[in-house]
Amino acid sequence: MIYKPKKILLRNGRTVIFKSPSPDDWQKLIDYVKCVASETPYILRTPEECKDTEESERAFINGYNDSELNCMISVYDGDKIVGNCNLTIKNRIKVRHRAELAIGLCKSHYRLGIGTALITELSIIARNLGCTQFELIYVDGNYRAKGLYEKCGFAPVARIPNGTKMSDGSFADEIYMVKKL
């Protein structure tokens, strides 16, 4: 599904553009993933695992853009992608009412209102597609993300002990959250 470009006014007075990435933005999306992977331990990729190719990234982008149920929104600050989120709706009829959210942002753009705006946009899309439940997983210890999700109406429903092995060898629980749409 293609998300049409939308200007978003940030708390600092600047604007960014929310839009679906085009296949030609493959390198920008790879650079964004490398940025986030190097800045936070809370995404499920390490910087060393960021080995996407032009071919694989174009296919990933096209998969979302060509979908009737799924949507990817990238955050463009000028010519650079600084954030991204994905909405994935379950395929089967019995669970089609459920949508999953994944979101990330480069540190340079924390606390500017982007996360709230992305979740708001994806909530609208999910509701319009007939979803009544929004779900996500975050890694325990990511208090910034937890605060954002709670502010946006998500509540914890489950905990997976030792769900993520951190780079230092320690483990962190994964927290499942749900929001009624």
Residue 108 pLDDT: 94
**Residue 149 domain-assigned?**
yes
**Residue 52 domain-assigned?**
yes
**Residue 147 domain-assigned?**
yes
Residue 46 pLDDT: 84
Residue 164, domain CATH: 3.40.630.30
33-37: Cβ within 8 A, 24+ apart: 33/84, 33/104, 35/82, 35/106, 36/104, 36/105, 36/106
Task: Indicate the DSSP class of residue 94.
Answer: G
**Residue 1 domain-assigned?**
no
**Residue 99 domain-assigned?**
yes
Residue 49 pLDDT: 86
3 state DSSP class of 172: strand
* Residue 106 neighbours by CB under 8 Å, 6+ apart: 32, 35, 36, 39, 82, 83
Residue 5 pLDDT: 97
Residue 51 pLDDT: 86
Task: Look at the chain and report how many structural domains it folds into.
Answer: 1
* Residue 51 neighbours by CB under 8 Å, 6+ apart: none
Residue 148 pLDDT: 96
For 5, list phi and psi in degrees, rounded to 5.
Answer: -55, 140
Residue 124 pLDDT: 95
**Which tokens in the block code for residue 36?**
């986030």
Residue ranges of the chain with per-residue pLDDT less than 70:
none
**Residue 102 domain-assigned?**
yes
**Residue 76 domain-assigned?**
yes
Residue 91 pLDDT: 87
Domain span including residue 172: 6-180
